[in-house]
Amino acid sequence: MVLRKISLLILSVLTLQACSEKTPFSQKNFVEFYVQLQMIDVQYGKQPALQKEKVDSLMHAYDLNDSLVKSTLSWYGEKPERWEKFVAQVQERVDEMRKHYVKPKSR
């Protein structure tokens, strides 16, 4: 449900035009935030109250609020090249994390 809302938010933000050439939030930190946000959605997607608590905690840890997230997404959405670079950085981070993931032994 949260992923659906985020997707709708992203789509709506992509239609907005941002004026700044500089991202409102650190690119590296926003990539990390976004990856962790996706992990929360996978882990807690069927527990909305716990999911919201985890998302709020994550936003607090990165010192983000809804307005800053929206303006950052708007900045990325202003130009397709920015969005493509962001998505590539997210994928790089996920691939890096996957290398270090150790699957639990099955019983």
Greater model confidence, 2 or 43:
43
Let me know if residue 53 belongs to a domain: yes
Residue 92 confidence (pLDDT): 95
Are 82 and 76 in contact, with CB atoms under 8 Å apart? yes
pLDDT at site 5: 65
Tell me if 100 is assigned to some domain: no
Asked if residue 20 belongs to a domain, the reply is no
What is the per-residue pLDDT across 3-53, written as a single tens digit (0 to 9) for each? Answer: 666 655 555 554 444 445 677 888 899 999 999 999 999 999 899 999 999
Q: Does 79 fall in a domain? A: yes
Which residues form the domain of 40? Answer: 2-13+33-94
Q: Which positions ≥6 away from 75 have C-beta within 8 Å?
A: 18, 20, 23, 24, 82
Asked whether residue 83 carries a pLDDT value surpassing 70, the answer given is: yes
| 7 vs 54, residue with greater confidence | 54
- Residue 89 located in a structural domain: yes
In a domain, residue 101? The reply is no
DSSP 62: T
Q: How many domains does the chain have?
A: 1
Higher pLDDT, 61 or 15: 61
